[in-house]
Amino acid sequence: MPTKPFHLAWFLQGSSVQAWGETWTGHIGQTWMKPELFLNVARALERACFDYILLEDSSYVGESFAGSTEIYLRNGIAVPRQDPSVVAALMTQVTSRIGIVPTFGTYAYHPYLLSRLVATLDQVSGGRIGWNAVTGSSDFAAMNFGMPGMPEHDLRYDMADEYMEVCNGLWDSWEPGAVIADRKSGVLIDPTKVHAVNYNGKHYKTRGPLNSGPAPQGRPVIAQAGGSPRGRKFAAAHADTIVVHVKGIEAMRAYRDDVHEHMIACGRKPSDCKVLYLINPILGDTMQDAQERKKRRAAIAMERIEERLAHFGKVTNIDFGKFDLDKPLPDDVTTNGHQQNLEQYRLMAKGRSIRETMASFNAVDLSVELCGTPDAVAARMGEVMQEVGGDGFLFSMPNVNRRTLAEIEDGLVPALQDRGLMRTAYEHKHFRDNLLAY
């Protein structure tokens, strides 16, 4: 078993209606406007000593299936969604240690606005904020901000590199110790420690400095999910934690090795960035119980093929409603959206029809299959980390409800802690320091 614990985080899909239409979700259709479920998530995962919660987001109503918004609206697929900055701020106020990581797209915010917003969140959280930096993938989202569509995939990352330069310059515009607050001299801020940025790049311009003051962490924790070759280079250059969706031990190890090589090429230490792999464990009182739950989940996935294709099409910009679901996806289909998702689909397909592929694609597992009792799943997670040499796992469980949280907090986490595989208390006050604690 690994000699040190690994990191755990939670990928919260959206910030409004969770698992609409599924069992154990109560009256979510009437109560989704109220933040209590999300505050419960934050409290529970902090009690469980998770490193962070990543608040996924999108800024448009999907219409990537049959050229219509109908299936998305009828089934509550990523809609309605509330602004993640508001939900994140509320989550910070009911917690004291766990990191909160809202998603903000570089296409939707000028760098000055984003830097100011994130610095403010870091202040009100006491140094526990992160930013899931995304470049955007949907033309529909771009149109909501007055653009004709998204720039080409690799160009988006070129622009994002410059965007990060601007943000880092703005966060650095306040030196440590700039706020003196000396009542005797009457000086609040040392003017010699606050500087203009005067950035004039190809894509972005800003004068600076930030007027919001310094962020407790200096800079927020940057999360990224770069899967394409260009995305990996961007993540290696800027990210403090990377979300990885690849299937199988060999692919997990290969991704980590590749991004570490990119980090070294950027002059960074691989240990400064934590690579977390997506998982969706299925827990039961017995192995048989867990297997039965897995079968039920797979059966439900089969019944909802069109809904799942609509969701998949939303992130890949592919309208699967145009194809015969009982035939393979044509080879000439490409995407300007999430390229790794399409690549993973093709690896899974192996000539099978769209319907057959989606029956197994992302239905019951993600990077590795985890199914069994809490102790058995904990043991397998330890084995996987030992084989991969990775840093931890990101739970991606779309059916979030209080039952799900209890199974993780009161079932799986104690089993992991008993094996010495995760912390039993936070080491530090700031998010980044806890990420770098081991």
DSSP state of 96: S
Q: List all residues 6 or more positions away from 204 whose beta carbon is below 8 Å from its beta carbon.
A: 110, 111, 159, 162, 163, 166
- Residue 361: the pLDDT is 67
Residue 301's pLDDT band, with cuts at 50, 70 and 90, is confident
- Residue 51 annotated as part of some ligand binding site: no
- Residue 228 annotated as part of some ligand binding site: yes
Mean pLDDT in residue range 217-246? 94
Run of H or E including 205: strand 205-206
pLDDT per residue as tens digits for the range 82-134: 999 999 999 999 999 999 999 999 999 999 999 999 999 999 999 999 999 99
d(CA 244, CA 11): 11
**167 close to 218: Cβ distance less than 8 angstroms:** no
Average pLDDT, the chain: 93
> 208-212, 257-261, 287-291, 302-306: which has the minimum mean pLDDT?
302-306
Mean pLDDT in residue range 367-389? 96
**6 close to 422: Cβ distance less than 8 angstroms:** yes
pLDDT of 248 higher than 80: yes
Residue 317's pLDDT band, with cuts at 50, 70 and 90, is confident
- Residue 423: the pLDDT is 97
pLDDT per residue as tens digits for the range 148-172: 999 999 999 999 999 999 999 999 9
- Residue 157 annotated as part of some ligand binding site: yes
Tell me the percentage of the chain whose pLDDT exceeds 90.
78
Mean pLDDT in residue range 229-244? 96
- Residue 13: the pLDDT is 87
Residue 408's pLDDT band, with cuts at 50, 70 and 90, is very high
- Residue 116: the pLDDT is 98
- Asked whether the CA dihedral 163, 86, 394, 116 is positive or negative, the reply is positive
pLDDT of 2 higher than 70: no
Q: How far is CA 42 from CA 1, 50, 98, 103, 297, in A?
A: 29, 9, 8, 16, 26
- Residue 19: the pLDDT is 85
Residue 431, amino acid? F
**380 close to 421: Cβ distance less than 8 angstroms:** no
Tell me the percentage of the chain whose pLDDT exceeds 70.
98
Mean pLDDT in residue range 173-184? 97
d(CA 430, CA 124): 12
Residue 385's pLDDT band, with cuts at 50, 70 and 90, is very high
The domain segmentation of the chain, as residue ranges, is: 7-173+199-283+365-435, 288-360
- Residue 407: the pLDDT is 96
- Residue 18: the pLDDT is 87
Q: Which residue has the tokens 């703005």?
A: 170
Residue 298's pLDDT band, with cuts at 50, 70 and 90, is confident
Residue 346's pLDDT band, with cuts at 50, 70 and 90, is confident
> 38-42, 137-141, 193-197, 428-432: which has the minimum mean pLDDT?
137-141
Mean pLDDT in residue range 300-309? 86
Q: Is 427 helix (H, G, I), strand (E, B) or coil?
A: coil
pLDDT of 348 higher than 70: yes
- Residue 365: the pLDDT is 63
Mean pLDDT in residue range 33-56? 96
Residue 234, amino acid? F
Q: List all residues 6 or more positions away from 378 whose beta carbon is below 8 Å from its beta carbon.
A: 412, 415, 416, 418, 419, 421
Start-to-end CA span in the chain (Å): 16
Instruction: List residues bridging with 412 in a β-sheet.
Output: none
- Residue 271 annotated as part of some ligand binding site: no
- Which CATH number fits the domain 7-173+199-283+365-435, given the four candidates 3.40.190.170, 3.20.20.70, 3.40.50.1360, 3.20.20.30? 3.20.20.30
- Residue 1: the pLDDT is 45
Counting other chains too, the contacts that 407-412 makes at CB distance below 8 Å and 24 or more residues apart are: 407/283, 407/374, 408/44, 408/48, 408/281, 408/283, 409/44, 409/45, 409/47, 409/48, 411/283, 411/374, 412/281, 412/283, 412/374, 412/377, 412/378
